[in-house]
Chains A and B, each alone.
Chain A
Amino acid sequence: MNDESLVRAGKTPVGRRMFLGLVALGAAGVAFGSQVQKLVGNKLGSGIASLLPGGDHFRIYTISGGFPTISTDKYQLKVSGLVDTPLTLSFSDLQSLPSIHMVKGFQCVTGWRVNNVPWKGVPLSHILKMVGAHSDAVAVSFDSYDNTDSESLLIDQAHLADVIVAYEMYGQTVTREHGGPVRLVVPQMYGYKSLKWLSGIRVVNHVEPGFWEQNGYPVNGWLDGSTGVTNPTPRLS
């Protein structure tokens, strides 16, 4: 059997075209799927978009083999390091501090994204001011109740107005799966910088790369690229 006999039988390479068409469709999905998803999300609202494969939903991971359960009564946030007055804040202490409300997209470094997530929390800069962070401090390290995850921000990054210690998400106390009752939110960086189950804030004199950075993610997790940069460089906006 050869091409000639098939041509004689009146057959054309339609199947090959179908195959190439499907592969092209897949390639277009990788290249433009992000725009299509945004369009669908805007047209249908994120409720319906979240039902579609790949759509607007959080993917919940744990790196410690479980989710730490911390009740709001027992919750404690220790603030220490290069500060004038170390503090331990309870959940209600945090609620009584000046708070901001913001609606931000949540972008994972691996490629999923959730649009328009409402957060409420205390600006980290306010907490740093309360404890009197020393002027020669270089960075801030964050610890998690899961005893595994950790994060760090340069001192200037930590003072960005939208970096918050969040205790509400979608109008309710942050749930356990989402890192509740209290988590860090750094909306200008990839999701891994927004440490879950925040237990400690330490003001330090050098950058301590966090869990994900030790596993190869950039210390600077800016959303607009610069993922190849592994040296911390301050940048404010």
Chain B
Amino acid sequence: MVRLLRFDGVQRSVHWLNALLFGALIFTGIPLYFGSFFGVIFPRHEIQEIHLWTGLMLPLPIVVSLLGPWGRRMRQDLHRCSYWSKAELRWLWTLGRERIDLDKYNPGQKANGLFIGAAIIVLWVSGYVLQWFRFFPVSWREGATVTHDFWAFAVFVVVAGHIFMALTHREAMVSMLKGTVSEKWAQTHAKEWVDEESAT
């Protein structure tokens, strides 16, 4: 049985480091956000420090993996996420009801990746404004508060959806643990990619 490499070691490390960092940020963000509305007593200062340092590190795995000589597949896949056909857009629009030959990642997965990438930048920058607020005008601090809260909510929803999809699509999830998928799976879920791989 032929197996195709979907995620190399670098990509898997980046994914799980991201998962760890996002997990820690959500876990500490919930009390920081809700605790302050209800006046819950918790070690706020310590949790705030964890949230801050985890947040500052958040872009590192992706940036380091993309820039180094080890990042060939990361860069290739970034490229895949950037380029879309009209059919892929229709697929996203119809939530996958239209049958097309899918790329290595389906349009939903591409959109997820793009959203998380953008969210990292937006949350990092708005978080920076919140932490080092004195360098920014008050209206920016207010904007950063709204933006950070709103995007955090969106990330929470998207991450929950991502986990749900992973748990209900076993082979795709296992490929993020072991790296490979069966050719049979790839023929069904990533036909365009299989054709491309066999052409080279």
Contacts and interface: CB of A to CB of B under 8 A. Distances in A.
B132 to A, nearest CB: 10
Interface string B157-171: 000000000000000
Nearest to A175: B39
Contact of A26 (B121, B140, B149): B121
A16 interface: yes
Contact of B118 (A19, A53, A66, A225): A19
Interface stretch (A92-100, A110-118, A122-130, A163-171): A110-118
Interface size class of A (residues with CB under 8 A): 35 or more
A66 B42 CA distance: 9
Given A26-B151, A27-B125, A227-B134, A32 B84 contact: no
- Residue from the set B126, B137, B145 with the largest chain A CB neighbour count within 10 Å: B145
Contact of A11 (B84, B126, B133, B149): B84
Interface in A137-176: 176
Interface stretch (A57-65, A74-82, A83-91, A200-208): A57-65
Given A1-B79, A6-B83, A54-B149, A23 B41 contact: no
B122 interface: yes
B8 to A, nearest CB: 15
A155 to B, nearest CB: 26
B10 to A, nearest CB: 17
A177 interface: yes
B130 interface: yes
Given A26-B126, A61-B44, A223-B138, A111 B37 contact: no
Nearest to A31: B143
A61 B36 contact: yes
Contacts of B79: 1, 3, 6
A29 B85 CA distance: 30
A67 interface: yes
Contacts of A6: 79, 83
A234 interface: no
Contacts of A36: 146
A236 interface: no
A10 B86 contact: yes
B51 interface: no
A176 B180 CA distance: 58
Given A26-B118, A30-B129, A113 B142 contact: yes
Interface string B69-97: 00000001001011111101100000000
A222 to B, nearest CB: 11
B37 A15 contact: no
Interface string B105-126: 0000011001101110110011
Nearest to B151: A26
Interface string A35-58: 111000000000000000111011
A31 B126 CA distance: 10
Question: Which 10 A/B pairs are nearest by Cβ-Cβ distance?
Answer: A26-B122, A111-B141, A33-B143, A54-B146, A29-B147, A22-B118, A34-B142, A59-B36, A53-B149, A33-B146
Interface of B: 36-39, 41, 43-44, 76, 79, 81-86, 88-89, 110-111, 114-115, 117-119, 121-122, 125-126, 129-130, 133-134, 137-153, 196
11 contacts: A6-B83, A12-B85, A16-B82, A29-B126, A30-B140, A30-B147, A33-B147, A65-B41, A111-B130, A111-B143, A216-B134
